[in-house]
Amino acid sequence: MTSLPNDAPIDAEKLDRLAELAVKVGLDLQPGQDLMLTAPAEALPLVRRIAVHAYKAGAGVVTPILSDPEIALARYENADDASFDRAPAWLYEGMGKAFDQNAARLAVAGDDPLLLAGQDPDKVGRANKANAMAYGPARERITRFDMNWNIVAWPGAAWASRVFPDLPPEAAQRKLADAIFAASRVDQDDPVAAWEAHNATLRKRSDWLNARAFHALHFSGPGTDLTVGLADGHEWMGGASTARNGITCNPNIPTEEVFTTPHAHRVEGVVRSTKPLSHGGSLIDGIEVRFEAGRIVEAKAAAGEEVLLELIDTDEGARRLGEVALVPHSSPISQSGLLFFNTLFDENAACHIALGQCYSKCFRGGEGLDADRVAAQGGNASAIHVDWMIGSGEIDIDGLDADGNRTPVFRKGEWA
Amino acid sequence: MTSLPNDAPIDAEKLDRLAELAVKVGLDLQPGQDLMLTAPAEALPLVRRIAVHAYKAGAGVVTPILSDPEIALARYENADDASFDRAPAWLYEGMGKAFDQNAARLAVAGDDPLLLAGQDPDKVGRANKANAMAYGPARERITRFDMNWNIVAWPGAAWASRVFPDLPPEAAQRKLADAIFAASRVDQDDPVAAWEAHNATLRKRSDWLNARAFHALHFSGPGTDLTVGLADGHEWMGGASTARNGITCNPNIPTEEVFTTPHAHRVEGVVRSTKPLSHGGSLIDGIEVRFEAGRIVEAKAAAGEEVLLELIDTDEGARRLGEVALVPHSSPISQSGLLFFNTLFDENAACHIALGQCYSKCFRGGEGLDADRVAAQGGNASAIHVDWMIGSGEIDIDGLDADGNRTPVFRKGEWA
Ligand SMILES: [Zn+2]
Ligand SMILES: [Zn+2]
Ligand SMILES: [Zn+2]
Ligand SMILES: [Zn+2]
């Protein structure tokens, strides 16, 4: 069973280690557990190795759902206008059912982050919105952390050429593969041990923040003067985490963040993005927004403003925060100096916030909280969850208690 | 948007005509109608052209579900025994829901017909059975003809090398592509007109048979002495046909058969297969079975007997007939002299019968019949529908009326 042509620019052994890591550390897939896997068709060499390791781990049945960028483009180039309000709800409802039956979920990222950059932003925005609404049954179970899930990356050819526009395609793909392998720690001798150590470091940070139980965080830096209230009973998480089905997984590979749930009604001030955001095949850059009582009341962007405005109009919760995450400017991904145009990487190179749905796991006793209780404690609900980067080497962060007393958390982008 | 590398052995223009034919004649896809499409990932060049033509026809959203043979093999090579009783029911339930919402269904055939030939037949049989049971919600709507559907073929590389084992891979794929294009009539100047003429020919044959309203057909030939009772109120169909959603489609491209529903309890005698059957990645050859009162009471096969026995044990209806179909030995596909190891082609080269589920459309007023009524008139129900070939140049067929009077239907494999 050959997974890669001999002349492929991607190291087959490291790719296999990434697949094994995704199954063992990313998912900790259990004997008898089914696996639902989404991936670009181009990522088949990785998907095949994931299937091998999943079955070796005792998987029930592995079901890949493969996508193709040219089919997505065929829609923009040929479809009637009405098409852009449609989405395959039946597929996402099916995924929700699979999760209810304890299937694990693995997503392989690797699409061209700017696939739709040349398309009509109104159509792109509407199609993203229709898809986000239809995706509800799957997203709900993922954000509630019902079951073990994981995202890993495939060094897609088009993506590689966005990250390394000056390199020939094969060299670009090789460099992106190496960056993915390094960030995912599969270039180390014992990736599983490396992840244990890394998880312990992230745990130390979240333990420290949980002991402080801040009422709010205050971010200051160029263009940013933002107070992010934290949800009542919020809990900081990072790295390995235990899903409601009792399985401890690492949802993101790579990950460098600790994160928690902001209070949907206690965010005030202005914030400016520090890296471009690739969302649904479009680039949004130079975001500046103002929050009042947790809600975005002004928003603009230097690029992709129409897609941004469509995004925050998805539903009521799309204008409020569902996540705040801390990542030091010295994180390995940040130190690579690369801009990946992919949230899985860029969010792990900078402090970030996410618009939309919160993770109910980020509450003390979160496993037991229903949606009403999450909302009562300040957790946001939405059909979207979109992270964007607000951290840099110039950001200071203070923790505030209920009386407004300040504790330094970050100085110049590093843990204080 | 490039669909095929410049050096591909497949004619890009004919491939595009096949895609257009599948959308326009195969499905007659309607503006606003969604399309659910299954295909091997290898068939992406055809799938992409289908997506283009579907969107040009006004499709809502096109959702491809792509499969990969290496992932299927990874299961046989690595999975626990318990895996082989599992199937992604959630996906098939989702498809059923899509059809209920009037999505059209297009299946691209092209897999290696002997992919699993080297695997444990017990595991293959169990996995096929689990999949057939789980597929129910989709199969039910397809066999009830709720919506327009179509199957077309992609000249898969592994399939091509099975059909032309003595040719180098590229030449084999080119020859299989040409055979598919010829059988699908896309090598003619006006394929749509060619299909209109072809549909008229098939209609003439089914009209003749419907006017006779035979009580049974009697097949005789080497190893075969079989009386196939026809269901009460059966109707012969062939070529274009109107689904319950009112759309007239051609479910199979190619097609050369006229077919109807046998009576599940009135089949008597012995029958020998005349071509090997590729079923679920395994080869079954030299089938000999004996029917009593509609039920298989003895079955053997020269090859693949274990898979056959597992197949007819799927459920009670798996031992009874759900289809009988007439194809002259002079059909173009038969004249090609090729054995395709693929039912879409081989069933259109020979008279055949199918074990399992009947098409309720093959009754007068079939659109209005519920499952109980279909059963009362002799229609069979099962989780399987597997066609196998019993026709040749040596087969004679008589039509029998209720009193046993005989009318010649076929002599030496041709219409009498
Ligand atoms: Zn985050
Ligand atoms: Zn996030
Ligand atoms: Zn047939
Ligand atoms: Zn059939």
**By CA distance, what is B75's nearest residue in A?**
A55
Residue B7 confidence (pLDDT) above 90: no
pLDDT tens digits for B125-177? 999 999 999 999 999 999 899 999 999 999 999 999 999 999 999 999 999 99
pLDDT in tens, B80-102: 999 999 999 999 999 999 999 99
Tell me the mean pLDDT in the region B61-67: 98
A27 Cα–ligand 2 center, Å: 18
Domain boundaries, chain A: 12-183, 213-238+256-415
CA–CA dist B368, B365 (Å, integer): 6
pLDDT at B366: 81
Please tell me the predicted confidence (pLDDT) of residue A384. 94
Nearest CA in chain A to B58: A80
Mutate to test the interface with A, among B1, B34, B55 (most CBs of A within 10 A): B55
- What average pLDDT does chain B have? 95
**d(Cα A20, Cα B65) in Å, to the nearest integer?**
25
Q: What is the pLDDT of residue A368?
A: 82
| Residue A248 pLDDT > 70 | yes
pLDDT in tens, B289-305: 999 999 999 999 999 99
Contact A40, A65 (CB under 8 A): no
Range with lowest mean pLDDT among A13-27, A110-124, B80-94? A110-124
- Length of chain B equals 416
> Cα(A322) to centroid of ligand 2, in Å?
8
The answer, yes or no, to whether residue A8 has pLDDT greater than 70, is no
DSSP A303: B
Alpha carbon dihedral A342, A348, A350, A351, in 10-degree steps, equals: 110
Pairing of strands B262-272, B352-356: unpaired
> What pLDDT score was predicted for residue B9?
78
| Interface-testing mutation among A55, A77, A106, A123, with chain B (most B C-beta atoms within 10 A) | A55
Residue A29 gets which letter from DSSP?
Answer: P
What CATH number does the domain located at A12-183 have?
3.40.1830.10
Q: Per residue in A40-96, pLDDT tens? A: 999 999 999 999 999 999 999 999 999 999 999 999 999 999 999 999 999 999 999
Instruction: Say which residues have a Cβ less than 8 Å from residue B120's Cβ, sequence separation at least 6.
Output: B76
Q: Could you tell me the distance, in angstroms and rounded to a whole number, from the CA of residue A192 to the centre of ligand 4? A: 51
Phi, psi of A8 (to 5 degrees): -65, 145
**Which chain B residues are closer than 8 Å to A34 by Cβ?**
86, 88
The tokens describing B121, both together, are 């037949």
User: E-assigned strands of B154-281?
Assistant: 216-221, 224-230, 241-242, 248-249, 258-260, 262-272, 277-279
Give pLDDT tens digits for B324-358: 999 999 998 998 999 999 999 999 999 999 999 99
Whole-number pLDDT of residue A281: 86
Q: What's the pLDDT at A233?
A: 97
How sure is the predictor about B2, in pLDDT bands with cuts at 50, 70 and 90?
very low
Interface test with A, best of B85, B91, B101 (most A CBs within 10 A): B91
CA nearest neighbour of A3 among A39, A35, A43, A38: A43
Q: Compute how many other C-beta atoms are within 10 angstroms of the C-beta atom of residue A300.
A: 12
Confidence class for position A7, pLDDT limits 50, 70, 90: low
Q: Say yes or no to pLDDT of B207 above 70.
A: yes
Percentage above 70 pLDDT, chain A: 98
Q: Which of B163, B120, B170, B167 is nearest to B8 (CA)?
A: B170
Q: What is the pLDDT of residues B208-254, one digit of tens each?
A: 999 999 999 999 999 999 999 999 999 999 999 999 999 999 999 99
> How far does B12 lie from chain A, in Å, by closest CA?
16
Q: Which residue in chain A has the smallest CA separation from B48?
A: A71
Q: How far is CA A153 from CA A2, A61, A189, in A?
A: 20, 22, 20
**Has residue B395 got a pLDDT over 50?**
yes
Q: Cβ–Cβ of B93/A98 closer than 8 Å?
A: no
Residue B110 in tokens = 């092209």
Task: Check A68 against B77: CB less than 8 A apart.
Answer: no
State in Å: Cα B116 to ligand 3 middle. Answer: 24
**Residue A136: pLDDT above 50?**
yes
pLDDT at B6 over 60: no
> Cβ contact (<8 Å) for A80 and B51?
no
Sheet arrangement for strand B321-326: B258-260, B321-326, B352-356, B385-389
Residue A98 to residue B87, Cβ atoms within 8 A = no
ipTM of this complex prediction, to 2 decimal places: 0.91
E strand spans, A222-365: 224-230, 241-242, 248-249, 258-260, 262-272, 277-279, 282-284, 288-292, 295-300, 321-326, 352-356
Locate tokens 């392989």: which residue?
A108
Mean pLDDT of B14-35: 98
What single-letter DSSP state applies at residue A372? H
Ligand with an atom nearest the CA of residue B139: 4
Question: How far is A56 from B223, CA to CA, in rounded Å?
Answer: 46
Q: Indicate whether B280 pLDDT > 90.
A: no
| pLDDT tens, residue by residue, B255-271 | 999 999 999 999 999 99
pLDDT(B189) > 80: yes
Q: Is the pLDDT of residue B3 over 60?
A: no
Ligand 1 centre distance from Cα of residue A324 (Å): 7
pLDDT at residue A366 is higher than 90: no
